[in-house]
Amino acid sequence: MTHTAGPSELKRPMTVASLSQLLHEFGVELRRLAYTMPGGHEDPLIRLSERMVRCARGQVNE
C-alpha cells in the first residue's frame, strides 16, 4: 500500500494516533523504495525506515 498525505490530510487537525499511522506508512513506503536502490545505498534508508516504524509503534503504545 502506497500512501502519500494529500492536502485534506495535512489541513485537518491530526491526532497522535493518525500521525503515528502516517509515520508508520511512510516508514514502510521508504523501506520499499530503499530496496530499489543500487547495492549498498539502501542500508541508511532501511535504518531510517526502521526508526520511523519503531517511533510510530512507540507513540501508539503510549
Q: How large is the average pLDDT for residues 1-9?
A: 54
pLDDT-derived band at 39 (thresholds 50, 70, 90) equals confident
Amino acid of residue 6 = G
pLDDT-derived band at 38 (thresholds 50, 70, 90) equals confident
CB 28 within 8 Å of CB 49: yes
Closest CA to 57 of 15, 24, 22: 24
pLDDT for position 14: 83
pLDDT(51) > 90: yes
pLDDT-derived band at 7 (thresholds 50, 70, 90) equals low
